[in-house]
Amino acid sequence: MKTKDIYVCSGCGAQAIKWQGQCPRCGEWNTLQQKVVVRKKGAVSHTYAGVRTTALADIPTEHTEARSTGFAPLDTVLGKGFVPGGAVLVGGEPGIGKSTLLLQLACAQAQMGNRAVYFSGEESLAQIRGRAERLGLLDSGMLAIASTNSEEALAILEAPEKPDLLIIDSVQTLNSSRAEGIPGCVSQVRAVSSELVEAAKKTTATLVLVGHVTKDGQIAGPKLLEHMVDTVLYLEGDRKHMMRIMRVLKNRFGPSDELVVFSMRESGMEIVEDPSTLFLGDRDDSFSGAAVVMAMDGHKPFAVEVQALASRSVLSIPRRTALGFDTNRLNLILAVLEKRLNLNLGQLDIYAKIGGGLAMRDPGLDLGVAAAVLSSFYDRPLPAGSVFWGEVDLNGRIRPASGGETRLKQADRLGYGPIFQSESCRTLDELQNKLFGPNG
């Protein structure tokens, strides 16, 4: 046992490590009184200007089990499911399927015996009922409320019978009396989200906030909103296609580079268990300008089609357009092709896209983009069954892409061949010779 002298304010209870005439917290004079504290051996604590700190090893461990979402792949993405006291932010473009997916999750929780509340500030109760009836989820026992008052959402979290899951759709529609401005402004979003997250942390409920996105695809509101929550999910995809991808942008309880692929059906969002060839569609190997790339998004390998079109330009400055990946990356690859292979691309309009409405940032797409551009430039199709992946550097060399073994195993499983990567062709010259011969 060890003893230590501290000074405690008789007015506010603040602590200090030495005597001073004025309390550092309440400002009263001559209120600090000496007190002897017995401290166990091994415990570490300090007091700084009346604020006491505690060693992490002395803090008791909290054992909380996550609740399943009802979708096994989504449980893996979140870590283990819905964590009690956790806050999740879901973003996505209007009409992408956020409300449909969250309504399914709430109904799945209710069917598992958990108490789920769907708090909507955008739809009426009749509209929510109609959507649940259309999805066949009307008998799930889920609770719903239509309001734009954040105090009502706080009252639900502070009620004696707290919900296991509270969904706020959306945080930009709620209004707090503790902040100025109209709903959706920065001050209101900050106040509403901070109040709800703080209240959820004190309970075993999981809070799910829905956030709108801006024109450039960022979640609307202050960036502080993403920092306050534990998990940030983003639902993306082309509304003209049935496929949806949910990405994890931040996760304190699990991986932050995973994704789940959904298919939008009449009965709601369905998880695609094996999306490896889902985005290829009905492709024809006899057309030029199309290359199959074994791409990686997170830890999942996808066989996607990269399409390119090189046509004569009538403009003084030819067009360069890329859909699904960065346009600057397309310009870089074209510059390398023109320099290292002595191709005249300066008089051509070149367009490139990823099929299926996908948007990817995988550096392994470089080799597939180069192969598709060469195929369209020479107007000759690529070998049937061929697959590409690899990163192209400024010297025209092909570098290995991350996850090479995973890509190779997936390509072998799907029966692709020949395979073009950094080991089979080390430079763009070798790639051109193998595909079209020395003279193209």
pLDDT tens string 316-350: 899 999 999 999 999 999 999 999 999 999 999 99
SS3 label, residue 312:
strand
Where do the domains of the chain lie, and which CATH numbers do they carry?
2-58 (no CATH), 72-271 (3.40.50.300), 290-436 (3.30.230.10)
Over residues 245-266, the pLDDT tens digits come to: 888 888 988 888 788 889 888 8
Predicted pLDDT at 428: 94
Q: Is residue 98 annotated as involved in ligand binding?
A: yes
Q: Is residue 99 annotated as involved in ligand binding?
A: yes
Predicted pLDDT at 356: 78
Write out the H or E segment, with its range, that includes residue 367.
helix 365-378
Q: Is residue 95 annotated as involved in ligand binding?
A: yes
SS3 content of the chain, % helix, strand, coil (to 5): 25, 30, 45
Predicted pLDDT at 368: 95
Q: Is residue 97 annotated as involved in ligand binding?
A: yes
Q: Is residue 409 annotated as involved in ligand binding?
A: no
pTM: 0.73
Q: Is residue 211 annotated as involved in ligand binding?
A: no
User: Cα(282)–Cα(292) distance, rounded to whole angstroms?
Assistant: 12
Whether residue 170 contacts residue 185, with contact meaning beta carbons closer than 8 Å, is answered with no
Q: Is residue 281 annotated as involved in ligand binding?
A: no
Predicted pLDDT at 109: 92
Whether residue 305 contacts residue 277, with contact meaning beta carbons closer than 8 Å, is answered with no
Q: Is residue 80 annotated as involved in ligand binding?
A: no
Amino acid at site 438: P
> Which portions of the chain are predicted below pLDDT 70?
1-4, 36-50, 61-64, 214-224, 439-440
User: Cα(76)–Cα(104) distance, rounded to whole angstroms?
Assistant: 18
421 CB contacts (<8 Å, ≥6 apart)?
Answer: 367, 388, 389, 390, 398, 400, 401, 404, 407, 408
User: Cα(327)–Cα(188) distance, rounded to whole angstroms?
Assistant: 36
